[in-house]
A and B are shown apart, each in its own frame.
Chain A
C-alpha cells in the first residue's frame, strides 16, 4: 500500500470529509492503487516544459467595467439554504 490509514485520515481531514470505519479500508486500498497508477508520470521526461493550466494558448483573463450588473436575489438564493434567519445563514455556534 502506498498510502497508510493515517495518510487517508489526514487527507480526509484536509478535504473536510467524514469517512466511516467501514469505508476506511476501501479508501486506503483504492486511493493507493490510484496513487500507484498516477506515479507512471514520475518516469516522464518533461525537461524544461512549462506547466499548462489552460488548454487554449493566448487566452487572457478578461476584465469588465467595475459596474453593478446584478440585482439583489438573496431571498431566491436562500430558499436553497438548510437554515436561514433574518436573511443570514445559520451555522452552529463558533464562539462561546
Chain B
C-alpha cells in the first residue's frame, strides 16, 4: 500500500508517472478522514490547499523536475507558522491566530514541492511529554488508544505511526521528537542545535529548541533533513556550516565504529527494556562496531537543570502573549493590567502557566543565582561529560525512554513524575547534540526506542548507523493493528 512506501519509493513512482501526487494526496486524505477521529492527531486539515499543491507538483513532475520530495505529502507540527493557515501551537491563546508568514522549515519544504496535508496536534506550546496539555484534547497512541503517544510532538508521531502522511515535522526541546517517536514506533531525528532554522517556529526555550523530522526510516529522514537543514540569516542562532549530503552517507560501513553504552541510562532500567538495547548492540557488533561502557557522571542532574533553564526561557518568550497584538483577549478588561492578566490567565492552560511561574520564580530577585545561574553551570558540566565521552567513542547509545507508552491520565496530577519521563532525552538538548530514536522492539505489545546521540553536526554518521541497523532489523516496519 502507498502509505507503507518510503519517500524514496514514492518519489520513483511519481517520477515514472505511474502515480500522481494528486492520487497520493487523496490516498492520505482518505486515511486521515477514516482513521484520525480515533486519534485526534491533527488540529487543522488543509485538504483543498493540499490538492492544489499536489496538482502543482504534478505539473513540475510532468516538466521533468526530479526533486526528492516533489509531490510527497507531509504533516507539520502546529508550532510552525504557515502563511494563511491557523497556527495554534496547541493553545487557546492562538486558537484564532492565522500566521502571516511561513516558517523557514515550511518554506523550504514548500519549495522542495512537498505537499502539506494539515497541522498536527501537540502539547500546548510544546510543554508536555504526553500530548495531554493540548487545548484540542489529547492525542491517542495508534498502538493502544488508551495510551499516550508521548509529547510534545505527539500528533506528528501518532500521524506517522498511523501512516497518515509520508513524513511529519516536529520540534525537540527536551525530547519532544525522540520520546514520542519511541512511544509510537517510528524514526525521529533531533538535529544539532542551530542545524535547522528556528525562524517561524513558535519559541518555547530558545537555547534548547530545535526542529526535526519523523519518518518511516532513517533513509527517509536523511532526505527530509537535507531539505530543511542549513544556514538561515533570519535565525540569529542558525549555524553557518555546509549541509552534508546525508542520503549519500547512509551506506558507509560501520567497521571500526566505537559505540559508548551510557552507564547512567541503565541504572534502574526495567530488565525487558535493557534487554532490547543489549540486543540492538549485538546487531551493531555484528556490523563491525565495537562497544565500550562510558559514564556521564552529571547526567542524573539533567532533569532538574532542564526544569530551571527551560521554564526560565519560556517565561521570557511567552511574555509576548499580552492580549494586544495577536492571540486571545479576555472579555471586558477593566484596565490594562486586567487585560494582560486575564488574557494570559484564560488563554494559557495549566501546564503552560505552571512553567511560566516556575521560570518567573527562578529568575526573580533573590533566587536567580541559586537556581538559574546554578543550572547554567551544571549545564556546562553535563556538556563537558558528553565532550569527554566523545573523545573515547563516536556515538553513545541507550534507551530513549524509561518505559513504553503510559496510560492517558496516569501522570497528569504529578508534574515531577511526568518530567522524569524525559530523563534520557534532556541531556542532548542541554548539550545541543543531535539524537535519533529508532524502533528496537516491543514491551507488552508497545514499541520501544533505541537512542543514538553523537557529537555536534554528526547527523550524517547517526543516520548512517540508524540506516544500517534498519537494514539488519525489521522493527521499523511494524504497523499498529488497523493501520497496516
Contacts and interface: CB of A to CB of B under 8 A. Distances in A.
Interface in A39-84: 39-42, 44, 46, 49-56, 59, 61-62, 64, 73, 76-77, 79-83
B379 A80 contact: no
B336 interface: yes
Contact of A56 (B319, B346, B430, B456): B456
Interface magnitude class on chain A: 35 or more
B193 A17 contact: no
Contacts of A35: 358, 361
B236 interface: yes
Given A27-B354, A34-B358, A37-B419, A89 B376 contact: no
Given A33-B415, A92-B334, A80 B98 contact: yes
Interface in B158-195: 192-194
B379 A94 contact: no
A19 B373 CA distance: 28
A63 B232 CA distance: 13
A42 B370 contact: yes
Question: DSSP majority for the A interface?
Answer: loop
Contact of B326 (A11, A51, A81): A81
Interface in A3-55: 3, 7-8, 11-12, 14-20, 23, 26-27, 30-31, 33-35, 37-42, 44, 46, 49-55
A44 B308 contact: no
Nearest to A62: B236
Contacts of A26: 350
A12 B304 CA distance: 22
B8 interface: no
Contacts of A11: 357, 360-361, 364
Interface residues of B, number: 75
Contacts of B192: 56
Interface stretch (B16-24, B337-345, B467-475): B337-345
A82 B94 CA distance: 12
A42 B374 contact: yes
A18 B357 contact: no
Interface string B278-312: 00000000000000000000100101110110000
Contact of B324 (A73, A76, A91): A91
B416 interface: yes
A39 B364 CA distance: 16
A39 B345 CA distance: 27
A52 B370 CA distance: 15
Contacts of B30: none
Contacts of A40: 301, 304
A62 B193 CA distance: 16
Interface in B415-436: 415-416, 419, 429-432
A89 B380 CA distance: 43
Given A16-B341, A41-B301, A80-B100, A89 B325 contact: yes
A19 B456 CA distance: 42
Interface string B347-378: 01010011011101110100000110111111
Contacts of A51: 373, 376-377, 379-380
B308 A41 contact: yes
Contacts of A14: 360, 364
B193 A83 contact: no
B383 interface: yes
A14 B3 CA distance: 50
A31 B358 CA distance: 7
Which interface residue of B326, B348, B383 has the most chain A CB atoms within 10 A? B326
Contact of B361 (A31, A50, A53, A82): A31
A89 to B, nearest CB: 5
B237 interface: yes
B33 interface: no
B147 to A, nearest CB: 23
Contact of B357 (A17, A59, A73): A17
Contacts of B383: 52, 55
Given A41-B371, A51-B373, 12 more contacts: A15-B315, A15-B344, A17-B345, A31-B358, A38-B375, A49-B377, A52-B380, A52-B383, A53-B207, A54-B237, A59-B237, A80-B98
4 closest Cβ contacts across the A-B interface? A55-B432, A18-B345, A51-B376, A82-B329
29 contacts: A15-B356, A15-B357, A17-B344, A18-B346, A27-B357, A38-B307, A38-B375, A40-B301, A41-B304, A41-B305, A41-B308, A41-B374, A42-B370, A50-B377, A51-B373, A51-B376, A52-B377, A52-B380, A53-B376, A54-B207, A55-B207, A55-B383, A56-B193, A64-B233, A76-B100, A77-B325, A81-B325, A91-B336, A92-B339
